[in-house]
């Protein structure tokens, strides 16, 4: 009989040892798949929310915008909490919020309920299962971080594909209430189970990160007093670098541009007279294509430098948008979906890598949280402006032109970033007490 050792520090199948870092990737990916799918798959509901409740494009986009704003403001907070106290402590609370938000959204009959249940409650849960989750995974890898992040991002995209299909099927067969209730109950249960398998850092179970050298110290960077000192000192120094603020702005411009498309594409297809299934098919193609670059771009960023990878991805997110100006046939929408999917898959996925290339072994949760604050605000403002133009003009053309302009500013901002060939503040740990430095032994 094949012997299996399930102890996290000694995980093995037969004689083959399995580093728990890869279990963390699987756990984090499943958690992120479960929560993020709800956010993007909701785009399928836009035409139906118009039909069922009589809400305008702007009113529906406003709900999405509220969710992004709420998640944006909570991103630095939960990132800081994860850096200082560890991620695991807040995840059970996040799972409870996810279940509550999904169940409540399924009962909505008024627009204000959509804003509160979907826009506020679910947004906080999503922030908990994004910012500190990604930051925590980076602590488990000294090498192959690009492969880990690529896997995480690709599986998150796969969750969106599955979410789109599930939403379309449930909406047709069981109605709006169960479209939220079934994924909410099932997804929340999965989150609660996986929390038990999540560990904040390798040192918590007595092992070193994947790729660590034999003489590397066993680090415990998230112990309360050490984590507090590291987070405070690093953030003050990082905020003195131009890249810290430019990365926030890049996330803002990119997200403002692409969210108009991601959340509006099914309605654009429907506006041209095509069915919900055809609209869902276009969004599925976009998301499936993006899975390739979601995996490939973090790997390329790790090997070749994040600036180049991000610049190419942003350019591929920007130019194809102009195809929508002449999209009247279904095949044109599919062509756009393929080209745009290549760019959108890599647009956001290199951020954890560029943080490591700029700041090394620093508390990334707080920094990444600030960047997601910029991204979330961009997601919201892009939707509000795009939705307003769309509603007032009666056509999506103006919203498409806005998307192109916003993304182009992001391309220019990336070009202004410094090289990723060296750390920006390599000596930041010299301001720490000796016991708080990453070179100190546990």
Domains belonging to the chain, first-starting first, are: 17-205+221-428 (1.20.1250.20)
* 63-72, 136-145, 433-442: which is most confident: 63-72
Residue 222: predicted pLDDT: 54
Given pLDDT bands bounded at 50, 70 and 90, which one contains residue 413?
A: very high
Across the range 320-337, mean pLDDT stands at 94
The residues near 309 (Cβ < 8 Å, ≥ 6 apart) are 297, 300, 301, 346, 350
Residue 187: predicted pLDDT: 92
Helices marked H in 10-87: 20-41, 46-53, 57-85
State percent of the chain over pLDDT 70.
94
pLDDT digits (tens, 9 = 90+) for 175-208: 999 999 999 999 999 999 998 888 888 888 888 8
Across the range 64-76, mean pLDDT stands at 85
Which has more pLDDT, 337 or 218? Answer: 337
Residue 161 pLDDT exceeds 50: yes
pLDDT digits (tens, 9 = 90+) for 248-307: 999 999 999 998 998 899 889 988 989 888 988 898 899 888 888 888 888 888 887 788
Q: What is the DSSP letter of 442?
A: -
Helix (H) or strand (E) holding 270: helix 242-271
Residue 128 pLDDT exceeds 80: yes
- pTM score of the predicted model: 0.73
Spatial distance between the Cα atoms of 211 and 223, rounded to a whole number of angstroms: 22
* 2-11, 165-174, 333-342, 371-380: which is most confident: 333-342
């Amino acid at each position: 009989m094949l012997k299996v050792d399930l102890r996290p520090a000694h995980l093995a199948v037969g004689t083959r040892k399995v580093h728990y870092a890869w279990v963390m990737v699987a756990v984090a990916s499943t958690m992120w798949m479960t929560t993020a799918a709800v956010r993007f798959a909701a785009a399928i509901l836009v035409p139906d929310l118009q039909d069922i409740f009589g809400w305008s494009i702007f009113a529906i986009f406003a709900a999405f915008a509220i969710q992004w704003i709420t998640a944006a403001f909570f991103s630095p907070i939960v990132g800081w909490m994860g850096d200082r106290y560890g991620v695991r402590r807040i995840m059970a609370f996040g799972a409870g919020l996810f279940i509550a938000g999904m169940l409540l959204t399924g009962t909505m009959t008024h627009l204000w309920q959509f804003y509160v249940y979907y826009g506020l409650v679910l947004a906080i849960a999503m922030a908990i299962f994004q910012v500190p989750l990604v930051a925590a995974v980076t602590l488990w890898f000294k090498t192959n971080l690009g492969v880990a992040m690529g896997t995480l991002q690709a599986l998150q995209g796969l969750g969106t594909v599955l979410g789109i299909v599930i939403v379309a099927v449930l909406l047709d067969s069981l109605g709006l209430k169960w479209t939220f209730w079934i994924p909410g109950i099932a997804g929340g249960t999965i989150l609660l189970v996986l929390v038990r398998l999540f560990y904040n850092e390798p040192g918590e179970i007595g092992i070193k990160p994947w790729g660590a050298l034999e003489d590397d110290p066993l680090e415990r960077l998230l112990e309360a007093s050490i984590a507090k000192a590291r987070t405070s000192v690093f953030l003050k120094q990082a905020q003195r670098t131009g890249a810290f603020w430019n990365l926030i702005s890049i996330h803002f411009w990119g997200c403002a541009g692409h969210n108009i498309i991601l959340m509006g594409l099914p309605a654009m297809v429907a506006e041209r007279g095509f069915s919900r299934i055809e609209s869902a098919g276009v969004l599925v193609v976009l998301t499936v294509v993006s899975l390739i670059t979601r995996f490939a771009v973090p790997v390329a960023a790790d090997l070749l430098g994040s600036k180049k990878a991000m610049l190419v991805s942003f350019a591929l997110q920007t130019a194809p948008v102009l195809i929508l100006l002449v999209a009247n046939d279904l095949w044109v929408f599919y062509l756009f979906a393929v080209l745009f999917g290549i760019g959108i898959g890599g647009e956001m996925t290199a951020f954890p890598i560029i943080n490591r290339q700029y700041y090394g072994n620093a508390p990334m949760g707080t920094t990444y949280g600030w960047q997601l604050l910029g991204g979330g605000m961009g997601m919201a403002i892009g939707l509000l402006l795009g939705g307003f133009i769309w509603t007032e003009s009666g056509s999506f053309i103006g919203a498409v032109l806005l998307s192109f302009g916003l993304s182009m500013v992001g391309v220019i901002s990336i070009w202004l970033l410094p090289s990723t060939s060296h750390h920006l503040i390599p000596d930041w740990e010299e301001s720490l007490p000796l016991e708080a430095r990453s070179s100190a032994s546990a």
